[in-house]
């Protein structure tokens, strides 16, 4: 007999509780320091329930990353598919990313920082990472061709903008949403700041 809709919802809720508890454990102790016992305790379940859903702490770790990236990607798809100019799509995309970061800052920081500290053979979340980075670089290149951005090295601009944007999201006033004006000011700073622009402009 197939599980009922209510049973499926309950399973999903239990799984999300496990992932939420595991996120706190991984943030505090990292992958190496975390244990299945701690994840079960933080989630409020016994180890039997934890092993019903996940075979190892690495499995839990991967699931947090993949689930988080899938949700980010799903929230960005309507923006990417929107019929606007490359610059406006770029601005809208950064605003949506900021909304994701401000809604769940702990998860967002984990998604971008945790993979740097680990080496795992199977890393399915990286597909979403690479796709997002490819979209952003593509928008920069399209914007340059359309004359919406100055002639700047897209790869260097992408890297410089990433650092400035993360600072805006995590070091600014988190109670206030990031606006079009915030992103435009960030772009203007990036383009006009002599300490940055001197390495961005192509010949």
Q: Please tell me if the domain spanning 1-55 has the same topology as the one spanning 58-200.
A: no
What pLDDT shows up at residue 203?
43
Within 8 A by CB and 6+ apart from 21, the residues are 39, 41, 42, 43, 44
Which of 57-61, 93-97, 187-191, 194-198 is the least confident region? 194-198
CA dihedral 102, 107, 111, 115 (to 10 degrees): 140
Across-strand partners of 152? 201
Q: Determine the straight-line distance between the first and last CA of the chain, rounded to whole angstroms.
A: 68
Can you give the pLDDT at residue 61? 92
State pLDDT tens for residues 129-143.
888 888 988 988 898
Confidence bin at 194 (pLDDT 50/70/90): very low
Closest among 115, 76, 90, 102 to 166, alpha carbons compared: 102
Structure tokens at 32: 């190496």
2: DSSP letter? P
Q: Are 111 and 65 in contact (CB under 8 A)?
A: yes
Whether this model's pTM surpasses 0.85: no
* Average pLDDT across the chain, whole number: 81
Domain boundaries, the chain: 1-55, 58-200
Is 114 a residue whose pLDDT tops 80?
A: no
Q: List alpha helices for 34-124, DSSP H.
A: 36-43, 47-53, 57-81, 86-103, 105-113
37: pLDDT confidence band, cut at 50, 70 and 90? very high
For the cut 50, the answer to whether the pLDDT of residue 202 exceeds it is: no
More confident position, 100 or 33: 33
- pLDDT grade, residue 99 (50/70/90)? confident
- Within 10 angstroms of residue 87's Cβ, the number of other Cβ atoms is 20
In this predicted structure, the answer to whether residue 125 has a pLDDT above a threshold of 50 is yes
Residues 6+ apart with CB under 8 A from 107: 23, 64, 68
Radius of gyration of the chain (CA): 20
> What fold characterizes domain 1-55?
Arc Repressor Mutant, subunit A (1.10.10)
* pLDDT range class, residue 60, cuts 50, 70, 90: very high
CATH assignment, 58-200: 1.10.357.10
Instruction: Indicate the SS3 state at residue 181.
Output: helix
Alpha carbon distances (Å) from 113 to 21, 105, 146: 18, 12, 33
Longest dimension (CA), the chain: 68
């Amino acid at each position: 007999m197939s599980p009922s809709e209510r049973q499926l919802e309950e399973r999903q809720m239990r799984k999300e509780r496990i992932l939420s508890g595991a996120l706190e454990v991984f943030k505090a102790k990292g992958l190496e320091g975390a244990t299945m016992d701690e994840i079960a305790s933080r989630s409020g379940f016994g180890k039997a329930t934890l092993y019903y859903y996940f075979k190892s702490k690495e499995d839990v770790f991967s699931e947090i990353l993949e689930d988080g990236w899938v949700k980010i990607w799903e929230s960005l798809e309507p923006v990417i598919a929107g019929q606007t100019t490359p610059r406006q799509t770029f601005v809208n995309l950064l605003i949506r990313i900021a909304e994701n970061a401000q809604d769940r800052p702990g998860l967002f920081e984990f998604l971008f920082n945790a993979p740097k500290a680990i080496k795992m053979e199977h890393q399915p979340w990286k597909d979403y990472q690479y796709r997002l980075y490819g979209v952003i670089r593509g928008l920069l290149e399209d914007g340059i061709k359309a004359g919406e951005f100055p002639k700047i090295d897209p790869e260097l601009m992408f890297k410089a903008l990433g650092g400035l944007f993360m600072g805006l999201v995590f070091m600014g006033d988190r109670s206030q949403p990031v606006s079009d004006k915030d992103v435009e000011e960030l772009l203007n700073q990036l383009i006009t700041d002599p300490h940055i622009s001197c390495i961005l402009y192509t010949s």
